[in-house]
Amino acid sequence: MRPTPRLAALATAVPPYAIDQETVVTLLRGLLGGSARLEHLLPVFANSGIERRYSVAPPDWFDAPHGWRDRHRLYLKGALDLIETVAGRLLDKAGVRPDEIGGIVTVSTTGIATPSLDALLIERMGLPRTVQRLPIFGLGCAGGAIGLGRAAAMAAAIPDRAVLFLVVELCTLAFRRHDDSKSTIVADALFGDGAAGALLRCAGPGPAIIACGDYTWPDSLDVMGWDVAEDGFKAIFSRDIPHLVAAGLGPAARGFLDRHGFALGDVDRFVCHPGGPKVIAACEAAFGLPNGALTEARDVLREFGNMSAASVLFVLERVLASARESGERWERALVTALGPGFTAGFALLSNG
């Protein structure tokens, strides 16, 4: 039988600078003074369900222009610091020594590193020279769910070793000072910075990862992604994303579960990426859940904003902690997130 990877530990981290929505609106009004489009879109900030977000840069950093070089330097330092923090917490929680690590999967779509973040982390933490490395770029918000599947496959392939799965997204570094396009202002209202991770191994306690999968919709390449501008990344969003989620996520999830011998009714917990209030509501509709059922997703969105791929792991950490604290039994949890492609990622966890 193929070894079954388990979640031995989960951990999260955020950078030091907390920024509330009022501060962002004040900054944008100063930079885009007189923009009719900004004034028209201000309700997006009020209706975002977000109270604060965290940034790798202090608020006054955004007052000045920054090109690729500045953004890249800040990305490398901030991303490496955060995943080192997460990795340290994972090792402590799981009681695993650094020399027991056999693989690292890193996910990030908000910056580029070559050598990649996993190689930099090996040097910083003194990890074994034989560690298998898998850096993943381009999955966007889906990276937390899809990357978990890739890390599970690696853990199953080296069952005598532990695997670090690390996600870091510094979305605020894509801030565009004088861009009042709708997609940019929506991004300004939603996105924040954060990191999360899991330690996987095939021995010991923890929820088992029993199935993973992806689904990519046809003719959907323009739904979400990056446009590369002279001074950095520029967000691309379709206004149809909530509709696509409400109409398409349910059938895709049922197909995934069916391929592995399960049905939607076999799932006790739904762990969904909190892309925004409309996306959370669309997930509830897709899975036949009551309005407001995805409490942990809304809480993470309110407290941290949309941290792209890292967010779903923040939600998973809270869902599992809530079940432990309440003593509520669960058998299966479905982790899902959507990102550029347009693609849904799925991971099915078992508490058996």
CB 323, CB 279: distance < 8 Å: no
**Residues 105 and 233 both lie in one domain:** no
The domain total for the chain is 2
Q: Give catalytic residue positions.
A: 141
Task: List the structure tokens of 239.
Answer: 């206004």
Q: Judge whether residue 352 has pLDDT over 80.
A: no
Q: Give the residue from 162, 182, 201 where a domain finishes.
A: 201
**Residues 239 and 104 both lie in one domain:** no
Q: Judge whether residue 68 has pLDDT over 90.
A: no
**Residues 284 and 164 both lie in one domain:** no
pLDDT tens per residue, range 124-166: 999 999 999 999 999 999 999 999 999 999 999 999 999 999 9
Q: Judge whether residue 230 has pLDDT over 80.
A: no
**Residues 154 and 22 both lie in one domain:** yes
Q: Provide the mean pLDDT of the chain.
A: 92
**Residues 119 and 254 both lie in one domain:** no
Largest Cα–Cα distance in the chain? 65
**Residues 157 and 214 both lie in one domain:** no
The CATH number covering residue 335 comes to 3.40.47.10
Q: Give the residue from 165, 186, 201 where a domain finishes.
A: 201
Compare 344 and 182 and report the one with higher pLDDT.
Answer: 344
Going through 24-85 in order, the beta strands assigned E by DSSP cover 52-55
**Residues 172 and 89 both lie in one domain:** yes
**Residues 182 and 220 both lie in one domain:** no
Q: Give the residue from 157, 183, 201 where a domain finishes.
A: 201
CB 24, CB 168: distance < 8 Å: no
pLDDT tens per residue, range 257-289: 999 999 999 999 999 999 999 999 999 999 999
CB 195, CB 87: distance < 8 Å: no
Question: Coil, strand, or helix at residue 346?
Answer: strand
**Residues 140 and 197 both lie in one domain:** yes
